Amino acid sequence: MAHSVPHAAPSQPIEILSLAAYEAHDADIPTNAGVLSSSSSSTKSARTHSTNTKDVDSVKEVDVEKALTCSTESSIHEEKAQHAVDSNVIFWDGPDDPHNPLNWSSPRRWGTVGIVSGLTLLTPLASSMFAPGVPEVMQEFGSSNEAISSFIVSVYVLGFAFGPLGMFLTIAPLSEMYGRLPLYHGCNILFIIFTVACAVASNIEMFIVFRFLQGTFGAAPITLGGGTIADIISREQRATAMALWMMGPTVGPTIGPIAGGFITQAKGWRWNFWILTIISSGFAIAAAILMRETYAPAILAAKVRRLRKETGNTALKSKFDTGLTPKDLFLFSIVRPSKMLIMSPIVTSISLYMAITYAYLYVLFTTFTPVFSTQYGFSRGVVGLSFAGLGVGCIFAQLYGTWMANRIFIRQLSRGDARPENRLHMMVPGAILLPIGLLIYGWTVQYTVHWIVPIAASGLVGCGLMWIFMPASTYLVDVFTVHAASAMAASTVLRSVFAAVLPLAGRKLYEDLGYGWGNSLLAFVAIAFIPMPFLFLRYGEFVRTRWVVKF
């Protein structure tokens, strides 16, 4: 089976796979490095993903549990040679074509990275910024329902669940037709509209609906940002740009409550949303003025349309043209994540573990304010500082964990062991730290030990969460290669639903069991999952090769 990969620099399969992962879609959808399709012999087989014996065997070579082989690379170069002689195939006008985003000036490229990183910081920050103001919200709307008081924070994350899934289902066909820029601008405008709607909501029902929609459209920069960076930053500099961009999802949710506590005390809870509106509007205006389309297939598609009009040659096509229609892309995108979540034990178990640990983060988000207000007498302004330990733990875990995980993987690789399971070594200390942090936090709060101790314990929880979350995400990308984005979409939906629902029981849990035993119960569940990293390290390869998902 020949794999049609339009030639773009770089055109090696590993680059195509990594860029597809950054861009939040599967590698059989066009990227700025090409596409890996299930068949290139005919457009029909590409559209239907033929399931005869020959095709299934071929798919396994580059599909979920198999690495790309030398024969695959040979077929790629054969395809390149075939396309090279086709004068109707449109590509860049040489390696220095100024229309290629990789050839833009440094100020334009890094300015774009800065704008995207700013947008990616704001939307996670919005998830928790008004958490210290929840008591004021409940008082103003005349509600004493503790479940609702937690849900108005976590419903934003439920929007995050639908946002990435919705983006995943539509980003491939929409970006191929229109590019990334319209998606950025459209979602920026809608995010601002629903942020304003939250600020002016007149009852709790309106507020919950607007928070959900705010989260849904706020997911756009997280979904699109990695792809934008891949479009404009070379591989040599991409790690720096990705580190800058990834600080948003890590830092945003933890610094939000710190700022929100003081804003709520000074101006009231609604000003959290007004300030978000002002800052988001500034970034949206900067994006509208300064950002340009970066998605290579969309840029070349526009070039093809222009040349067809000028020359009258309807046979012209882009090198990124796979023959897949938007309908085909939509159907593939909607089926794959569901099949993986249901039929792959690897995806199911890893996603479940990630979902539980991620939900713990929002249990803490929704309970920190009442815990530190009642147990330690923190004021509305100071209570936001109780989130600092969690934030410091997450940041430290990201920096040190990334360095250590890469060091471990390189060492294993030098020994000839390139199994994806080697990505999971850092999950072991994470699985151990999580329950330890929960136990220390719960019992020190129960007996009102000095406030620095539970805040430091929450830092251990943050470390544990990140060291579970980061290796698991990398593992899914390594295992499922071509369809990595589908696996990540399945995982994202499950963990976001858990993070929206589980915190509803947080306050009731503490009310019935106390802070000590309530957090101990959460810790006991985490302890039950401690064997999971060890089981995956030992048996993961057997499980993923025994139960292979076919598409």
Q: pLDDT, tens digit, for every residue of 371-414?
A: 998 899 988 778 888 888 888 898 888 888 878 877 887 887 78
In terms of domains, do 403 and 350 share one? yes
Domain membership flag for residue 157: yes
The last residue of one of the domains, among 86, 121, 138, is 86
Q: What are the structure tokens assigned to 429, written together?
A: 């200390």
CA-wise closest residue to 333 among 486, 163, 177, 490: 486
User: Looking at this protein, which amino acid is placed at residue 333?
Assistant: S
Domain membership flag for residue 455: yes
How, if at all, do strands 317-318 and 89-90 pair? parallel
The more confidently predicted of residues 28 and 208 is 208
Q: In this structure, what is the dihedral angle of CA atoms 514, 515, 517, 518, given to the nearest 10 degrees?
A: 90
**Of 7-21, 42-56, 345-359, which one has max mean pLDDT?**
345-359
In this predicted model, what pLDDT tens digit does every residue of 69-102 receive, in sequence order?
333 344 444 444 444 446 788 888 888 889 999 8
Per-chain mean pLDDT for the chain: 79
End-to-end CA distance of the chain: 16
Domain membership flag for residue 97: no
The more confidently predicted of residues 283 and 18 is 283
Confidence of residue 432 (pLDDT cuts 50, 70, 90): very high
Domain count, the chain: 3
> Could you tell me the CATH number of the domain that includes residue 474?
1.20.1250.20
In terms of domains, do 38 and 82 share one? yes
User: Which 3 state secondary structure label does DSSP give 1?
Assistant: coil
User: Which 3 state secondary structure label does DSSP give 73?
Assistant: helix
pLDDT of res. 447 = 93
What stretches of 219-325 show up as alpha helix (H) in DSSP?
Answer: 220-232, 235-267, 270-290, 296-311
pLDDT greater than 70 at residue 165:
no
Task: Please give the helix or strand (H or E) that residue 133 lies within, else none.
Answer: none
In terms of domains, do 170 and 242 share one? yes
Domain membership flag for residue 2: no
Domain membership flag for residue 176: yes
In terms of domains, do 150 and 35 share one? no
Q: Give the range of the structural domain holding residue 60, as residue numbers without chain letter.
A: 13-86
Q: What are the structure tokens assigned to 235, written together?
A: 């591989």
Q: What are the structure tokens assigned to 475, written together?
A: 């593992």
The last residue of one of the domains, among 323, 341, 372, is 323
The last residue of one of the domains, among 289, 323, 357, is 323
Percent of the chain surpassing pLDDT 70: 78
pLDDT greater than 50 at residue 56:
no
In terms of domains, do 305 and 355 share one? no
In this predicted model, what pLDDT tens digit does every residue of 295-309 receive, in sequence order?
888 888 889 989 999
Tally of residues, the chain: 551
Cα–Cα distance between 392 and 380 in angstroms, integer? 21
Task: Classify residue 236 as exposed, middle or buried by CB count within 10 Å of its CB (0-12, 13-18, 19+).
Answer: exposed
User: Looking at this protein, which amino acid is placed at residue 359?
Assistant: A
pLDDT greater than 80 at residue 47:
no
Cα–Cα distance between 446 and 509 in angstroms, integer? 13
In this predicted model, what pLDDT tens digit does every residue of 175-220 receive, in sequence order?
656 788 998 999 999 999 999 999 999 999 999 999 999 988 888 8
In terms of domains, do 334 and 460 share one? yes
In terms of domains, do 249 and 337 share one? no
In terms of domains, do 244 and 372 share one? no
Whether residue 10 is preceded by a cis peptide bond, meaning omega within 30 degrees of 0, is yes
**Of 186-190, 310-314, 316-320, 541-545, which one has max mean pLDDT?**
186-190
Collect all residues with Cβ–Cβ distance below 8 Å to 526 and sequence separation of at least 6. 356, 357, 360, 431, 434, 435, 438, 464
1-to-47, 74, 354 alpha-carbon distances in Å: 15, 11, 36
Domain membership flag for residue 93: no
Q: Are 284 and 420 in contact (CB under 8 A)?
A: no
Could you tell me the pTM of the whole model? Answer: 0.74
Cα–Cα distance between 187 and 171 in angstroms, integer? 12
- Mean pLDDT over 437-441 rounds to 96
pLDDT of res. 218 = 87
In terms of domains, do 300 and 409 share one? no
pLDDT of res. 273 = 95
If you ran DSSP here, which 8-state letter would residue 386 be given?
G
In terms of domains, do 475 and 363 share one? yes
pLDDT of res. 520 = 95
Instruction: Tell how far CA 462 is from the center of its chain.
Output: 18
In terms of domains, do 507 and 441 share one? yes
Domain membership flag for residue 5: no
pLDDT greater than 60 at residue 490:
yes
pLDDT of res. 41 = 32
pLDDT of res. 55 = 36
In this predicted model, what pLDDT tens digit does every residue of 445-483 receive, in sequence order?
999 999 999 999 999 999 999 899 888 887 887 787 667
Q: What are the structure tokens assigned to 30, written together?
A: 């066009």
Domain membership flag for residue 3: no
Which segment of 132-136, 239-243, 390-394, 416-420 scores lowest on mean pLDDT? 239-243
pLDDT of res. 61 = 35
In this predicted model, what pLDDT tens digit does every residue of 511-535 receive, in sequence order?
889 999 999 999 999 999 999 999 9
In terms of domains, do 364 and 471 share one? yes
pLDDT of res. 157 = 78
Q: What are the structure tokens assigned to 171, written together?
A: 């980003």
Cα–Cα distance between 501 and 498 in angstroms, integer? 5
